[in-house]
Amino acid sequence: MEPMDLSCEEVDGLLDLADDIIARPQAYAHKCDGKKIATLFFEPSTRTRLSFEAAMLELGGSVLGFASADSSSATKGESIADTIRVVQCYADICAMRHPKEGAAKVASLYSNIPVINAGDGGHQHPTQTLTDLLTIRRLKGKIEDLTVGLCGDLKFGRTVHSLIKALTRYPHIRFVLISPQELRVPDYIREILEKEDIPFVEAERLEEVIEQLDVLYMTRVQRERFFNEEDYVRLRDSYILDMPKMELAKKDMIVLHPLPRVNEIDTEVDKDPRACYFKQVLFGKYARMALILKLLEVE
């Protein structure tokens, strides 16, 4: 299941369900009694794994699985197809993270239980996108008529690509794409935006555009992504969100980040009420609860 396999209505249905879970958690506390999720993490990702596990536990279900490939049979040369056919004997639903692109897709072809892609090679990561949409809708009250800034590494960050694609399905979104030249969004993203007539601008410095934004989605710029040291030194501070830049922003802008954060958001910013990246973590749990419920077809 990948969110973009879902129609806009289905995504909105999931967000509505997440809203209801947030409003009435007790009503969902036993929805998955007796159900099990298998968390198959062929590469470690504590945050994502714990989010799925918390989601299932808060629905009354239970958890089994592994946190890294070292402790899995993959090391014995087993195929993904065989692994999932074994795991489906043990669990009702599965969340899989795998370094190989398309691994969760392959698993789902052989599986008679739902397989959620919890990240694969190149960081396709659909539940992150669902999380981002839920967070925006909860905090801005809508997903429309918003100016959304995405800042940092827009070339390699699949989180960013998924979010842009998802947002193009909502009305009146404007994008501000903030990155160094060498880390601009790939052409195919730019083509989508142009074809759909979705307004966007590209900028090199966050401080020059931050005042326009309703949503600022931060990602990390890794030094090794720069072509030369000079550019890195000249630009690095533009991709670090700090209080002086926050001063320039709207009073109701929200700052998101997929985490983990290293230094691209100064910890001073954490105290600002516009810093919403930890709320985003909480919404991620609710988004996953909604997805689990839907995929298990629990009423």
**Which residues are catalytically annotated?**
47-48, 76, 97, 125
Bridge partners of 218, per DSSP, are 151
How large is the C-alpha radius of gyration of the chain? 20
By the rule CB under 8 A, 123 interacts with a copy of itself: no
What's the rounded Cα separation, in Å, for the pair 130 and 213? Answer: 21
Site for a copy of itself in 280-299 (CB under 8 A): 281-282, 284-285
Instruction: Tell me if 48 is assigned to a ligand binding site.
Output: yes
Among 5, 141, 188, 260, binds a copy of itself (CB under 8 A): 260
Instruction: Tell me if 245 is assigned to a ligand binding site.
Output: no
| Least separation in angstroms between CB 15 and a copy of itself | 18
Question: How many positions of this chain bind a copy of itself (CB under 8 A)?
Answer: 49
By the rule CB under 8 A, 91 interacts with a copy of itself: yes
Q: How is residue 257 written in tokens?
A: 């980040």
DSSP assignment, residue 127?
H
Closer CB to a copy of itself, residue 120 or residue 214? 120
Site for a copy of itself in 49-78 (CB under 8 A): 50-51, 53-54, 57-58, 62-68, 70-73, 75-78
By the rule CB under 8 A, 227 interacts with a copy of itself: no
| Least separation in angstroms between CB 243 and a copy of itself | 17
9-48 mask for a copy of itself (x: CB under 8 A)? Answer: --------------------x----x-x-x--x--xxxx-
What's the rounded Cα separation, in Å, for the pair 51 and 95? Answer: 11
Using DSSP, state whether 93 is helix, strand or coil.
strand
Cβ contacts of 9 within 8 Å, gap of 6 or more: none
Q: Which residues of 5-33 are buried (b: 16+ CB within 10 A; e: fewer)?
A: ebeeeebbebbebbeebbeeeeebeebbe
112, 130 Cβ separation under 8 angstroms: no
Cis peptide before 258 (omega within 30 of 0): no
- C-alpha neighbours within 13 Å on the C-beta side of residue 107: 29
| Least separation in angstroms between CB 66 and a copy of itself | 6
* Of residues 196, 217, 285, 291, the one with CA closest to residue 6: 291
Closer CB to a copy of itself, residue 245 or residue 288? 288
At 175, give phi and psi (nearest 5°). Answer: -110, 140
Instruction: Tell me if 260 is assigned to a ligand binding site.
Output: yes
Cα 61 to its chain centre, rounded Å, is 23
Instruction: Tell me if 293 is assigned to a ligand binding site.
Output: no
Cβ contacts of 289 within 8 Å, gap of 6 or more: 18, 21, 28, 55, 58, 59
By the rule CB under 8 A, 82 interacts with a copy of itself: yes
Residue whose pair of structure tokens reads 């931050």 in the numeric block:
210
Closer CB to a copy of itself, residue 7 or residue 71? 71
Instruction: Tell me if 50 is assigned to a ligand binding site.
Output: no
Amino acid at site 49: R
Closer CB to a copy of itself, residue 110 or residue 232? 110
Instruction: Tell me if 174 is assigned to a ligand binding site.
Output: no
By the rule CB under 8 A, 140 interacts with a copy of itself: no
Q: Per the annotation, where are the binding residues for carbamoyl phosphate?
A: 47-48, 97, 125, 128, 259-260
Residues in contact with a copy of itself by CB under 8 A are 29, 34, 36, 38, 41, 44-47, 50-51, 53-54, 57-58, 62-68, 70-73, 75-79, 81-82, 85-87, 89-91, 259-262, 267, 278, 281-282, 284-285
Q: Which residues are annotated as a binding site for L-aspartate?
A: 76, 158, 220
